[in-house]
Chain A
Amino acid sequence: MGQLKAQLTERQARVHAEQYPPLRLKDADPVKWEVFYTKLQGLVTNARETAVHISSSPVVREMGECVMALFTPEGESVCFSRGIVLHVASMGGAVRFMLENDYEEDVGIRHGDLFFNNDPYVGGAHSQDQTLLAPIIVDGELIGWAGGLTHVPETGAKEAGGTAVTGVSRFEEGIFWPCLKVGENDQLKRDVEMIVERGTRTPIWWLMDTRAKAAAILQIRDGIVKLIREYGVEFYREAIYEYIEDTRQACFRKIQRVFYPGTYRMSVFFGVPNARRPVLYPRDYLVRVTAEMTVTPDGYVSLDFDGTSPAGLHTYNSTTSATLGNLLLAVIQYVLYDVKYNEGLFQAVFHPTRMHLPPSVLNPPDHTYGSGLWGPGAGGTCWGAMMDCIARAYYARGIREEVTGHRNSGAGGLRWAGTDQYGRPSAGQNFEMGCAGMPASAVLDGLDTSYAAFNPEGDMSDAEVWERVFPFVWVGRRIQRDGGGFGRYRGGAAIQSTYLVEHVDSIQISTSGVGRFGSRSPGLMGAYPVGASTMYTYGLPNFEEAVGQEAPLPNMGVPAWREESPGSLLQVVPKMLAGDRPVQQVRRHDLIVMEEGGAGGFGDPLDREPRLVAQDVGYGLTSRPVAANVYGVVLDASTGQADAMATATRRAELRRARLARGRPAGEYVAAQRRRLLAGDVPEPARTSLNECMATSEKFRRELVECWGLPEDFRVIPGSAAEGVA
């Protein structure tokens, strides 16, 4: 066994046994200790800026999907740059993979080597997440790793944009290299690059991103060597583990103070409507992602995902690396945002002895399952389930200002493939989801069109920038009316973008298309979830004539546009719903309307301040029917303000209507029991519940106990619908 592999085994055993180092250096000289950390942090932060300025990809330059980090010799993260911090979890996995697979002896790890990984079962979340790692070797001893990751928007997958929406296994998701040595002596190998040139549609982004990361991580490596000259290698060796331990301790202190101890549970669902898609195994998947979080009074957190749907033959699975990254994002953005980001977070919150992640869509049993769309799929959904648990633990403790609902839902960007306006082969994905809405909190509405939860640094970017690389023009970008979940506090509204295909005769587009098959952003404590977000395409058969006569184009959802532009000369003919057909060929002057992710609300909508409802109607954020029927607010026809008396009457009427239509739970349970015994459950719900029962005794017991079913109930009877396995 190589020395590094032995070190890894020993370190993992210590963490498992919860044997952590003392903070000796910190106690001895806290100022020196913090200054040194700031220098490490400065190195990775500067390196990230280097990478962003070298990359040619709008995903890095405009969206900021880029992160740089320093690791211990065993692959534990020490510090991270800003950027897509999801990968605090994932890059270190590549280091561990190399050590566990004897790279030290069989491949060789030398000064000047560059190792590339985009195998999501090793690190990263899907094949677009591409890591480059450089060993840091001082006086012949490996003392750490510099790492960088960018999201590369084209990997040679079955469909363009790095993600095969219709893929059923990972082997349709493009080129993947598990820790391949792509460079030696600080130089990238030309023969390796040939694979990219011949194997992807737009190789420039992959190739330039690799150069960008190489420049950045070599900058980190050389910077560390200089720092060691100043501080000494002994100080460095000890300090890097202390930073991790300091974070671990800080996490415990914070959790003790802000969470009410207890057990919190949530299940969130998303749909993969593959029975109606051109895929190899056409069956629907209705995926259940469930989380149970237990917090002890002394700040220990246990997580259990037992009862989550099994992995499926689709691209919405989440590798373990993606799952951990998503859970971490929930934690570092909403709870532990004030600690040093590093491996200590995992030791505190996701410790192996307190984490139960059985084989499932969150932890596929082997490496063949596709994970290209983990974000709109299982990975992003497990985050939402955990956020619900976090929100309730905060609420009970009185930390109301931190209560936040589920992450935003969304369509997952617009992807394209074909020949671009310059006559070149082109493929990619835009980032309108960079302005998705934020969930409501217990004290505040969610921000409208705010950010992409998985990439807080990312931004949607200017339309004019995208129009240079993308054969579409933006006809409109606007905040979607009724685009956030209705509640006492309203969920942040989605962005609605309208595109016109221009400059090319025809091009292929795709999106993740999970919109109307499940809301991944439920409401909290009485609020509604966000409505379905999806993509529609339309033909404009008389475009030239209508534009010649200056007829306005739809710059919003077509139903709303028809209301605002009655009698328009322009003919708008529906072509396709994205959920039904996520990959489509569109033609010049076709119109695409896409909604990117609003989020759920908080609290009973009838508790919302009437003044705020009137204000939202005035701003065009809430429609009049929703104001009247969901919020129970009556607006004065002349002033547009809420009529206090009429509103009170309307709300009393709506509460009475609830009391009239609501059935006592006992009756409801009895009716559900009868329908389950009779097999009166529609597909794909029946198959989904049956699969969860078959793979999780915990879930089976939950179902049996909830509905009062016979103890031996194991299958909801009835034959599967056609096209559903």
Chain B
Amino acid sequence: MKARSVRIWTAVHKWTSLVSTVFLLLLCLTGLPLIFHHEIDELLGYAVPPDPVLAGEKATVDRIAEAALAHEPGKVLQYIAWDKDDPSAVIAYTNVSRNGDPDDAVLRAFGAYSARPLGLVGTGPMLIVLKLHTDMFAGMPGKLFLGGMGMLLLVAVVSGVVLYWPFTRRLDFGTIRHARTRRVMWLDWHNLIGITTLVWALVVGGTGVINTWAELLLNNWKSTELAAMVAPYAGKPPPAHLASLDRIVGNALAAAPGMEVAFIAFPGTPFSSSHHFAAFMRGDKPLTSRLLKPILLDGETAAVADRRDLPVYLKALFVSQPLHFGDYGGVPLKIIWALLDILTIAVIASGLYLWFAKRRKFRRGRALLTGNQLPAEAR
């Protein structure tokens, strides 16, 4: 590699890293507890307790809906969701109106057997950590900004790989030059940790960036695919009386054999038409459980009106989510996720240290290295 191209890649690596460092550290530090948010919620007492009744027949969906409305007088139901990991809980979303602001929604879990209220979902201190991690309390602009920082991370990682060769070509893999200056030792650690965690950093960074576009992708789907699904029923008024929710669920299950209902959206909510229920179905495998399949059902008769697969970009979004969260391989995977996150923090921190140390070195005027640029950079 020519000295000139090394200089260019070094500049790319330096500036993409420097600009994003503070935010990447924020993301890594807030991401660490988020890996264990289920466990932390449980520990702090914010987890939903299990249904006291765990036997006999499951409560009807209509009964759960009734119970949910009784707890939030004057509100309407937006969604009813079934937790994949906890079959004993059904989560009801109530809001001031069918298309109310998501921030105003109340999520309350009910026992799948008893239909008794179990507690509110998504409260507690981890919500603050989550907001810091996703948008820094700055809404959509904050989200897209962090997405941009994520893209800088990807460029920094790729440029780091390019620079790995000129910086380590005289060394065996994993050589740490402890006997040399502290800067050289940390350069070796930076290179070793960086290159071994490379693929994980790219995948978690890349899927994180995709996740920042989740709302945009969903909005696009709603305005194109969902709009096309409901277009034939454009003139239809909102249903005068709603069909039985158990019939909605039953017909949806019959229309998608081998799948279960992830959630149903009520007519008039952002995930359906003004006249239809939408049932979002999921498979039972780790991968297929992420690929939701929407079914549109008539709000009055519960008859299936339309069904189709999600477009590729939404599939990509839903598959990318577990790859970002690390929640798809049991507790051991979560622990490994945390260790890899800590290694990434070490790469970021050592990179920052190297930048400071190099500046100091040049300032003191001790850098009298002349001649070949490469060894000077590497030592």
Pairing of A with B: no
Instruction: Tell me the A residues contacting B by CB distance below 8 Å.
Output: none
Instruction: Tell me the B residues contacting A by CB distance below 8 Å.
Output: none
